[in-house]
């Protein structure tokens, strides 16, 4: 991996991490609840955007390898929060909140796959 790719991923990761903290806090403030909607929100949004980007990358040649790495691995890799999702789900289970934990796991697992597919097909529809 070239130093330019590493720099692209690292700078994108910085932006994605800051966006994750901002949007997670914003969503959690607007929707206070025992279910971690902030994490769910950034996972759904990030998955949708990843679907859009990957489809766009596949069907066009507009972005360079460094730009693709910056946006997908860097920004969106840091924006989505599966490690946070994992510990929040564990803590819900550990705290005896079985139904909330199952809701969190189900919404994150299936919701993010649905959103990634939605983004992918949206771009595919408009480009093909």
Q: Domains of the chain: which residue ranges?
A: 3-29+37-127
User: What pLDDT sits at residue 22?
Assistant: 97
| pLDDT greater than 90 at residue 128 | no
In this predicted structure, what is the pLDDT of residue 83? Answer: 84
DSSP sequence for the chain: --HHHHHHHHHHHHHHHHHHHHHHHHHHHHS--SS-HHHHHHHHHHHHHHHHHHHHHHH---S-HHHHIIIIIIIIHHHS-HHHHHHHHHHHHHTT-HHHHHHHHHHHHHHHHHHHHHHHHHHHHHH-
For the question of whether the overall pTM of this predicted structure is more than 0.75, the answer is: yes
With a cut of 90, say whether residue 115 has pLDDT above it.
Answer: yes
- Predicted local confidence at residue 79, as pLDDT: 94
pLDDT of residue 84: 86
Question: Could you report the per-residue pLDDT of 10-63, keeping only the tens digit for each?
Answer: 999 999 999 999 999 999 999 989 999 999 999 999 999 999 999 999 999 999
* pLDDT(82) > 90: no
Helix axis angle, 37-59 to 82-94, nearest 10°: 150
Q: Which two tokens stand for residue 87?
A: 């510990």
Mean residue pLDDT of the chain comes to 95
């Amino acid at each position: 991996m070239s130093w330019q790719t590493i720099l692209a991923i690292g700078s994108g990761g910085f932006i994605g991490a800051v966006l994750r903290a901002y949007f997670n806090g914003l969503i959690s403030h607007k929707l206070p609840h025992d279910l971690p909607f902030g994490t769910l929100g950034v996972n759904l949004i990030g998955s949708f955007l990843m679907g859009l980007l990957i489809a766009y990358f596949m069907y066009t040649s507009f972005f360079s390898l460094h730009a693709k790495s910056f946006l997908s691995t860097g920004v969106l890799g840091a924006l989505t929060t599966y490690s946070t999702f994992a510990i929040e789900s564990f803590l819900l289970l550990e705290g005896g909140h079985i139904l909330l934990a199952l809701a969190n796991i189900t919404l994150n697992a299936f919701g993010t796959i649905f959103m990634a597919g939605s983004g992918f097909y949206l771009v595919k529809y408009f480009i093909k």
